[in-house]
Chain A
Amino acid sequence: QVQLVQSGAEVKKPGASVKVSCKTSGYTFTTYYMHWVRQAPGQGLEWMGRLNPDGDTRYAQKFQGRVAVTRDTSTDTLYMELSGLRYDDTAVYYCAREVSTGCGSYAYWGQGTLVTVSS
């Protein structure tokens, strides 16, 4: 079965970077678009970026220059690195896989990784 397992919670200082991983299994990793979505405490969902099967990336304008989505095809792992952390980057970060190629709805989600930005 499809599984997305994310790395554990992180506490970072303002200005630092964080890299969150998402280990996938149960399907062919390079077949599907993969996305990162975040959710601040008590708030809604916010799309951050995606990596397509060809390895190309696309990011929300809000995060351009601060976020990088990468992958390691040898371990079927997706990564999201966010730099220049601010207090309002405190959120749960989710990786998600599309339901099918070309349909940008997310059928599978990681369990979420809480990133806390605190001095």
Chain B
Amino acid sequence: DIVMTQSPDSLAVSLGERATIKCKSSQSVLYRSNNKNGLAWYQQKPGQPPKLLIYWASTRESGVPDRFSGSGSETDFTLTISNLQPEDVAVYYCQQHHTSYTFGQGTRLEIK
């Protein structure tokens, strides 16, 4: 199985600042057939199901604020949240779907 490792496990960022979360896969998740990375980012708040933020590594899901952006390729990916807002407090997960499906362990984001 592909192992997804997120860093850090938790972080605290001031309102209005930028939060950066990393995700590293143990193997490449690049689909050679369409040159897209099978990598998604989710936000989960307590008592709620996860919410899709980014898919194909950098495509923002409909309705997601443009403060959220994804980048990276092959094995190294980044979720960036600009201009941090109070409602961004949550746990964030990366997920790969190139070879079966696996999630990272999650990163807890708090306000400093």
- By the criterion CB–CB under 8 Å, are B55 and A105 in contact? yes
Tell me which residues across on chain B come within 8 A of A46, comparing CB atoms: 103
- By the criterion CB–CB under 8 Å, are A107 and B56 in contact? no
- Known: A45-B93, A47-B100, A99-B55. Contact between A106 and B105, CB under 8 A? no
- What does the 1/0 interface line of A33-70 toward B look like (CB < 8 Å)? 00100000000111100100000001011000000000
Min C-beta distance of A6 to chain B, whole Å: 10
Min C-beta distance of A58 to chain B, whole Å: 8
- By the criterion CB–CB under 8 Å, are B97 and A103 in contact? yes
- By the criterion CB–CB under 8 Å, are B49 and A105 in contact? no
**Residues of B within 8 Å of A, CB-based: how many?**
22
Min C-beta distance of A35 to chain B, whole Å: 7
CA A104 – CA B56 in complex, angstroms?
A: 9
In B25-74, the 8 Å CB interface with A consists of 38, 40, 42, 44, 49-52, 55-56, 61
- By the criterion CB–CB under 8 Å, are A107 and B52 in contact? yes
Tell me which residues across on chain A come within 8 A of B104, comparing CB atoms: 44
* A94 CB within 8 Å of chain B: yes
In A97-119, the 8 Å CB interface with B consists of 99, 103-107, 109-112
A105 contacts which of B40, B102, B105, B106 (Cβ < 8 Å)? B40
Q: Can you pick out 16 interface pairs between chain A and chain B where the beta carbons lie within 8 Å of each other?
A: A44-B93, A44-B106, A45-B50, A45-B93, A47-B101, A47-B103, A50-B101, A58-B100, A60-B101, A96-B49, A99-B61, A104-B38, A104-B40, A105-B52, A106-B52, A111-B49
- Interface residues, chain A, CB within 8 Å of chain B? 35, 44-47, 50, 58, 60-61, 94, 96, 99, 103-107, 109-112
